Amino acid sequence: MTASQVKRAFKYRFYPTDAQAAELSRTFGCVRKVYNLALAARTEAWARGERVNYNQTSSLLTGWKRTEELAYLSEVSSVPLQQCLRHLQSAFAGFFARRGKYPRFKSRKKSRRSAEYTSSGFRYRDGKLTLAKMSGPLAVVWSRPLPEGAVPSTVTVSQDAAGRWFVSMLCDDTPAPVPETVKAVGIDAGITSLVTLSTGEKVTNPKFERKDRARLAKAQRELSRKARGDGANRAKARRKVAGIHARIADRRRDHLHKLTTRLVRENQTIVIEDLTVRNMVRNHTLARAISDAAWTTMRTMLEYKSAWYGRTLVTVDRWFPSSKLCSACGAVAERLPLNVREWTCNGCGTTHDRDVNAARSILAAGLAVSVCGAGVRPQRSSPGGLSATKQKTPRREP
């Protein structure tokens, strides 16, 4: 099977010199300033019933650079400043199309520190990356090679809350083809087991946040004792807390990458549930465990990896009663509390493991969808007249 060409970002860590770090920090500040100025200008125009587009904000940027107050904007590369205006334009386009909320101002302490360079703002030759306004290349740790002959179209430089520097290079890439297979798998997401497969396999949830919870709590207590402000001790304590969060996130992401890659390589069809994680985390008893499981991240990985390798990802309706639906005869149990992990079907007498049965029901429903192309929303009703739903979180009334 021949894989199609895709846009793929390759992220690397780098270690800037003091001069490079200072230049990038100035660039981050200027990007934030220009974004906020342009947002303020567009907000004022919006209040007057007018719309300001990218070209008009670009003209405003030229005028800002000529003023004495904002003359420092000319000291950094103009490329990331123009890119932040394009990002603001995209944010407004999403707002007008009702895909997102009204853009918000960027905070100096809370906003992501990043700058995006297009091809005119960097030079990549012989494995060395040099940004505009810099005399030497960045000391990048090339943990993996770029695709052969690939030329980055954009480069995004960022610094996380733990003080680590990263560069992300967007390139055209052709994923290595994988052989076609007839295998299909249903996936039931959980907390004790991160996922349960229709094959009966259960993947244990590593619970990375729980493993580092004591270290994190200690670091947060130390941070709370530091005097508020911009002192060096408070900054050091804040970086320590951020470092622990980064360690948790890195390990979780690595584990999910390995799991999703294996699932995509081994199966032609993958069936998952359309879980509303945003609503599920409102359950304060389970919110921390649900967030640590990172189901949304796993789904995102499955989506783009399935597209890369020509696999089929089927999503089953969130109200499909997978746990209560007998995968052997199709009967639906009237009630199945969360603490019941095994149950026996009254229709056929089959004893089910709750999660394995749910995964098999999800797979059967997903295969039906792929054949007929219809949504999965069976109209089975309980004696009380309510539609049978999977009991993970109660459905909220509008």
Q: Tell me how many domains the chain contains.
A: 2
Instruction: Verify that 40 and 155 share a domain, yes or no.
Output: yes
Instruction: Verify that 156 and 193 share a domain, yes or no.
Output: no
Catalytic (active site) residue 250? no
The predicted model gives 367-388 an average pLDDT of: 47
Closest among 315, 273, 263, 317 to 295, alpha carbons compared:
273
Instruction: Verify that 195 and 285 share a domain, yes or no.
Output: yes
Instruction: Verify that 278 and 315 share a domain, yes or no.
Output: yes
In a domain, 393, yes or no: no
Give per-residue pLDDT as tens, 147-200. 888 889 999 999 999 999 999 999 999 888 889 999 999 999 998 899 999 999
What tokens appear for 14 in the block?
Answer: 């780098």
The predicted model gives 295-314 an average pLDDT of: 93
Last residue within a domain, chosen from 147, 173, 199: 173
Confidence at residue 375, expressed as pLDDT on a 0 to 100 scale? 43
Neighbouring C-beta atoms of residue 342, cutoff 10 Å: 11
pTM of the model: 0.83
In a domain, 391, yes or no: no
Confidence at residue 374, expressed as pLDDT on a 0 to 100 scale? 45
Catalytic (active site) residue 273? yes
In a domain, 25, yes or no: yes
In a domain, 91, yes or no: yes
Confidence at residue 206, expressed as pLDDT on a 0 to 100 scale? 93
Angle at 86 between CA 83 and CA 90, to 5 degrees: 140
Confidence at residue 387, expressed as pLDDT on a 0 to 100 scale? 31
pLDDT-derived band at 217 (thresholds 50, 70, 90) equals very high
Q: What residues have CB less than 8 Å from 298, skipping those under 6 apart?
A: 189, 195, 256, 259, 260
CA 66 to centroid of chain Cα atoms: 39
Q: Which residue has tokens 């999703």?
A: 260
Instruction: Verify that 99 and 160 share a domain, yes or no.
Output: yes
For the ranges 196-200, 212-216, 379-383, which has the lowest average pLDDT?
379-383
Instruction: Verify that 46 and 164 share a domain, yes or no.
Output: yes
- The pLDDT mean for the chain works out to 88
Inter-residue contact 393 to 283 (CB < 8 Å) = yes
Last residue within a domain, chosen from 123, 152, 173: 173
In the chain, what percentage of residues exceed pLDDT 90?
A: 66
The predicted model gives 95-107 an average pLDDT of: 93
Instruction: Verify that 285 and 335 share a domain, yes or no.
Output: yes
Instruction: Verify that 134 and 201 share a domain, yes or no.
Output: no
Confidence at residue 395, expressed as pLDDT on a 0 to 100 scale? 33
Residue 294 structural domain: 184-207+248-372
Catalytic (active site) residue 355? yes
Instruction: Verify that 197 and 130 share a domain, yes or no.
Output: no
Q: Which of 23, 116, 173, 188 is catalytic?
A: 188
Confidence at residue 398, expressed as pLDDT on a 0 to 100 scale? 29
What tokens appear for 233 in the block?
Answer: 């001790």
pLDDT of 394 above 90: no
The predicted model gives 300-322 an average pLDDT of: 91
In a domain, 398, yes or no: no
CA distance 189 to 270: 13
Instruction: Verify that 160 and 306 share a domain, yes or no.
Output: no
Confidence at residue 257, expressed as pLDDT on a 0 to 100 scale? 96
In a domain, 223, yes or no: no
Confidence at residue 280, expressed as pLDDT on a 0 to 100 scale? 86
In a domain, 381, yes or no: no
For the ranges 81-85, 137-141, 325-329, 382-386, which has the lowest average pLDDT?
382-386
In a domain, 379, yes or no: no
Instruction: Verify that 25 and 104 share a domain, yes or no.
Output: yes
Confidence at residue 380, expressed as pLDDT on a 0 to 100 scale? 37
Burial 118-136 (b: 16+ CB within 10 A, else e): eeebbebeeeebebbbbee
Instruction: Verify that 202 and 300 share a domain, yes or no.
Output: yes
CA distance 155 to 171: 9
Confidence at residue 372, expressed as pLDDT on a 0 to 100 scale? 56
CATH of the domain at 328: 3.30.420
Inter-residue contact 343 to 333 (CB < 8 Å) = yes
Last residue within a domain, chosen from 173, 193, 218: 173
pLDDT-derived band at 370 (thresholds 50, 70, 90) equals low
Where does the chain show beta strands of DSSP type E? 6-14, 113-118, 122-125, 128-131, 140-141, 154-159, 165-173, 184-189, 193-197, 202-204, 269-273, 312-316, 342-344, 351-353
Confidence at residue 383, expressed as pLDDT on a 0 to 100 scale? 34
Give per-residue pLDDT as tens, 238-278. 999 999 999 999 999 999 999 999 999 999 999 999 888 88
For the ranges 222-231, 297-306, 354-363, 382-391, which has the lowest average pLDDT?
382-391
pLDDT-derived band at 297 (thresholds 50, 70, 90) equals very high
pLDDT-derived band at 3 (thresholds 50, 70, 90) equals low
Give per-residue pLDDT as tens, 51-95. 889 999 999 999 999 999 999 999 999 999 999 999 999 999 999
